[in-house]
Structure 1
Amino acid sequence: MMNPWRLRLLVRLDTLGTVRAVAQAANLSPSSVSQQLAVLEAETRTQLLERTGRRVRLTSAGLILARRAREILDQMDSVEAELRGFGEEPAGLVRLGTFQSAIHTIAVPAVTRLARDHPHLEVELLQLEPHESVPALRIGDADVIITTTDVDDLPLGPDLDLVPLADDRIVLVLPPGHPGAGRGPVDLAAYADEPWAFDMPQSYMANLALRLCHQARFEPRVVCRFSNYLLGLQHVEAGLSIMLLPSLAVDRRYRVVTRELSTPVPRTITAAVRRGAPPRAAVRVVLDALREPPDAGAAGGTGASGKAGAAGHAGPE
């Protein structure tokens, strides 16, 4: 019989591409991963891997098994959840990956409602950038993700089902007393000499902000970098910098001014699940909750912590 844990390693190899990457994701040594995949070959009596020097790749049989394994593992998760709840109440663990600005505005309000309405359901929140959440979904480390469709190098692909959640836009964030804190769209070129706050290098927002500045024909003078949007908002509120942020990320608790860009940068916020086996009841319930509008006052930084029913893997924003 094929071992589900080894099947998951094969799925990860198909998605991540190298034994070393699989080992890092599974908290194993590369040699342990190789040994377990060799055992899987023995279990299936089929050559699943081709070894070229120190690298391996999936054979045609390995590719077929990896694709089928995703369906098998999803079905096993569904059966386990149904048995736990006897098919009457959504139950079990659903891992929800989401980028920073959607945590308090979309994810936490949904998780709060789910904790109230489905006490046997546990939602684990994982803060993941879009380039991290899509691979996590494909290898089974997340069951649902919240991402965007505007990342050029992010292959969403036909293996994922997408559920639109909201429309968002990128805005310029200024201190309240800034000379540019008026009304109407702004041209970024007018802010070329300003001190800028940026996200961490190679993050989604840092790459986007740098690209927009370059399109406006200037190199931004970056005076600080924060991995947490709220720290950036504090810096702007103190008059020490300006920054570009998704409008979802602008917490109303901070005294800042937002301006639309003269060349709009819209984005679509989307939930995604793996296509194939029908999603288990718990996953469907989470998707339904994400589509609901947040309770009055829940969005835009009410300080909701998501403690009820949510494992606190996402750091404070």
Structure 2
Amino acid sequence: MNPWRLRLLSLLDTLGTVRAVAQAAHLSPSSVSQQLAVLETETGTQLLERTGRRVRLTSAGLILARRARAILDHMDGVEEELRGFGEEPAGLVRLGAFQSAIHTLAVPAVTRLAREHPHLDVELLELEPHESVPALRVGEADLVITTTDFGELPLGPDLDLVPLATDPIVLVVPPEHPAAGRGTVDLAACADEPWAFDMPQSYMANLALRLCRRAGFEPRVACRFSNYMLALQHVEAGLSIALLPKLAVDRRYRVATRELTTPVTRTITAAIRRAAPPRAAVRAVLDALRHPPDLPPTGHE
């Protein structure tokens, strides 16, 4: 069986349609259909059944699709062993991480791994929490840093979760703002402020909107940025205030941070697929994330 075609079958199980698989694999729908037909020939088994213009997996197709990820992981492990590096972690690990975890957790880990394991290559992918778990499940990432709070993520028994850190959600204001001098802030007092928000339907945009509504008001959104640095610049200029994870508040910006009267904290978690024992390379990356150097100070109190 061709590993690439197995991956297409696994994607079909996860994404549901040939068109979605084609978009994920950067192929045409007809090419995906042709490759899946070849896979049926390779296995000598009917894997797909057609109902009108749609395609769905047969019982045999479901079994193979759901074992394909474990098969592909095992093949990666065998390839690593055959490279002859013994117990030395080697090969490529694709690490997905959300924006604020990249510079505080992922980059320090990758930097240390480059010194300690020269045959290990880490490809760093920026994936927000709502993107990372689906990418992990379909094999586009081997390991992700995500969050497990606020009911945002479709977690299940197919994943192993390793807590890495906790991170409070803070109010970020210009240093001259009246709220800058207080110990904690009740969001209800900020009902009339202009707000900097993340992009619609993103993890932080959804969380900030829920917190504002819980405080009894609909936020007046002055800007939306997918980059925390742009949001911090906007706040620093006195044009808005924001709710951000504390790890996202870079100390280079002249802003003040205040924790909320009703604390909100997210748990930063590493996730890997449970289908097969992790490769030595994946274990090395996970160990580096679990034992980070001291985090740099963030924000201005």
TM-score for both structures, normalised by structure 2: 0.96
Contact residue 22 and residue 28 of structure 2 kept, 8 A: yes
Gapped regions of structure 1 (runs ≥ 5): 302-317
Contact residue 46 and residue 60 of structure 2 kept, 8 A: yes
CA positional deviation for 1:27? 0.5
| 2:55 matches 1:39 | no
1:259-301 Cα shifts (integer Å, max 9, x gaps): 111222111100001002111110000000000122564x649
The structure whose RCO (Cα within 8 Å, separation 6+) is larger is 1
Q: Which residue of 2 aligns with 1:122?
A: 121
1:185-233 Cα shifts (integer Å, max 9, x gaps): 2111110111111111111111111111111121111111111101111
Contact residue 89 and residue 120 of structure 2 kept, 8 A: yes
| 2:271 matches 1:272 | yes
Q: Which residue of 2 aligns with 1:30?
A: 29
Q: Which residue of 1 aligns with 2:12?
A: 13
Alignment coverage as a number of residue pairs: 299
Q: Which residue of 2 aligns with 1:196?
A: 195
1:102-144 Cα shifts (integer Å, max 9, x gaps): 0001101101100111111111110011121111111111000
After TM superposition, the structure 1 stretch with the greater mean CA deviation from structure 2, 120-129 or 148-157, is: 148-157
CA positional deviation for 1:45? 1.6
| 2:230 matches 1:231 | yes
CA distance in 2, matches of 1:151, 1:139: 23
| 2:122 matches 1:111 | no
- The structure 1 segments of at least 4 consecutive aligned residues displaced by more than 4 Å after TM superposition are none
Q: Which residue of 1 aligns with 2:166?
A: 167
Q: In percent, how many aligned pairs have the same letter? A: 84
CA distance in 1, matches of 2:128, 2:42: 36
Gapped regions of structure 2 (runs ≥ 5): none
TM-score for both structures, normalised by structure 1: 0.91
Amino acid at match of 2:189: A
Contact residue 194 and residue 219 of structure 2 kept, 8 A: yes
Superposed, which structure 2 residues align to 1:1-317 within 5 Å? 2-295=1-294, 297=296, 300=298
Contact residue 100 and residue 128 of structure 1 kept, 8 A: yes
